[in-house]
Chain A
């Protein structure tokens, strides 16, 4: 079973709209990271949020973490066509020095 799973699997929105992706995990974590992957490319790190943090911002990105619900969300505001990509959450398994990636959310932003 996956430590982290994103929801929805795929999301299609119009340019200018906000996009929200969720990540749920099973065991307690120390940190959670979000990455973006453009088609055929490597992953790019977006944000790291620690278990004692509830919210972090980076430009148009906002990440929240609710450890009581074992979930995180990534909000992209005022989306652009260039935001079209797959988005992955990555968690540690609490006590292990290992990062586990979820299957990702595929985001399409239509111009």
Chain B
């Protein structure tokens, strides 16, 4: 079955450490996205990518970085500059970037906590 795989499911970050969240899709989608979800809140867009080797900042990109070297993969690095990283991180994809008129497909998330 096609889908999006996020790993790990749980991740702990030490002070001053960078951590990388993995997102892989086999849906052959061009567009991929990273969202952050805090308790009781909606999703906030961190970064998005419409094609390999291209990505754009979303609403809350500070303290995060991404790469898109392969169509299938869109890893997110939470850097030490992100002072409040504890959240649920969701990766999504859609066939093209014009995703206001396309459903997004989501992975099952990574829950990041500070040690």
Q: Which residues of A contact B (CB under 8 A)?
A: 2, 4, 9, 30-31, 33, 40-45, 48, 50, 88, 92, 96-104
Interface size on B, residues (CB 8 A): 24
> Given A98-B45, A102-B42, A104-B42, does the pair A43, B101 have CB atoms closer than 8 Å?
no
Contact with A along B101-115 (1 / 0, CB 8 A): 111111111010000
Is A48 in contact with B40, judged by CB distance below 8 angstroms? no
Is A92 in contact with B42, judged by CB distance below 8 angstroms? no
Q: In chain A, what residue has the closest Cβ to B105?
A: A45
State the total of A-B contacts with C-beta under 8 angstroms.
59
The DSSP consensus for interface residues of chain B is: mixed
Is A92 in contact with B100, judged by CB distance below 8 angstroms? yes
Is B41 in contact with A44, judged by CB distance below 8 angstroms? no
Is A33 in contact with B42, judged by CB distance below 8 angstroms? no
A88 to B104, CA, bound (A): 13
B90: interface (CB < 8 Å): yes
